[in-house]
Structure 1
Amino acid sequence: MSENDIAERNKEIVLRGFSEFAAGNVETLRGLLREDFIEHSPGNPSGRDAFIEFVASAPVAKARLDLKRVIAEDDHVVMHYHLVPPGEERGLAVVDIWRMVDGLIVEHWDVVQPVPDPGEIPNGMF
């Protein structure tokens, strides 16, 4: 399988998982994350089960997720999306970086930024 084929397969896996998660199915993560999953975000636990338990009670589990773009290269998939928790208007701009091995997510990094007032970003966040 070529690097491009692997990247496309990984992209499809992550997109399916994102779609399921955005629809409210937190348990979809169980089939996506390797048991020894490594998390790089401060305050978020590593390990599949600990991470799923954490995410299930975090605001992201009930937020509206509006995917803007996905980039896949080799064993990495990058997603850029708008996360809007219930009761919030502007929400957050999020970039997730997932590293995949054999069709499972093994590592995660993210960058999260509050979406400012539209007057502060004349070219938009997305």
Structure 2
Amino acid sequence: MSNKELVQKFYDDIFINGDLSNLNNVMKENYIQHNPDCEDGRIGFEKFIKHFLSLKPKFEIINISADGNMVYVFFKCIVNDKHINKVCDIYRIEDDMIAEHWDIIEHNVENKKSNNSNGLF
């Protein structure tokens, strides 16, 4: 499985379907987290994702790209059926598992007015 396919499966299983049963097979136990709202480690991610999934997120993946051991996911995320977030997640893959994560999030863009006609996504 390619790094890109690994991250796509991670999103499909966990973020879209809410299924954590395969997490041990895709994420390293000592997972490094750079989002200040999430603790390090697989256990820290599990705590975070269980709360996040309670917000009933809906995902629309715009693009997944990979460069070596880095995978970039750009997506639209709607939480609580009202707030739209524009997100780019960045993952480092090591030994065929997710080892590290960074993110860039633009929160609550649903009322954002654009100065061009290109749209936010």
Is 1:87 aligned to residue 81 of structure 2?
A: yes
**Aligned residue type for 2:35:** S
Q: Which among 9, 33, 39 is matched to residue 16 of structure 1?
A: 9
Is 1:123 aligned to residue 115 of structure 2?
A: no
State the Cα deviation string for residues 67-114 of structure 1 (Å, max 9, x = none): 0001101100000000101231x5100100000011101100000002
TM-score by length of 1: 0.83
CA RMSD of aligned residues (A): 2.0
CA pair 49-84 structure 1, distance change in 2 beyond 3 A: same
Does the 8 A contact of 1:70 with 1:77 survive in 2? yes
Quote the Cα distance in structure 2 between the aligned partners of 1:105 and 1:87: 29
How many aligned residue pairs are there?
118
Structure 1 residue ranges without an equivalent (≥5): 1-7
SS at match of 1:57: helix
State the match for 2:26 in structure 1. 32
State the match for 1:105 in structure 2. 98
Does the 8 A contact of 1:27 with 1:52 survive in 2? no
Is 1:49 aligned to residue 43 of structure 2?
A: yes
The structure with the largest helix share of the pair is: 1
Does the 8 A contact of 1:35 with 1:47 survive in 2? yes
CA pair 29-91 structure 1, distance change in 2 beyond 3 A: farther
Does the 8 A contact of 1:118 with 1:124 survive in 2? no
**Aligned residue type for 1:98:** Y
Structure 2 residue ranges without an equivalent (≥5): none
TM-score by length of 2: 0.86
**Aligned residue type for 2:73:** M
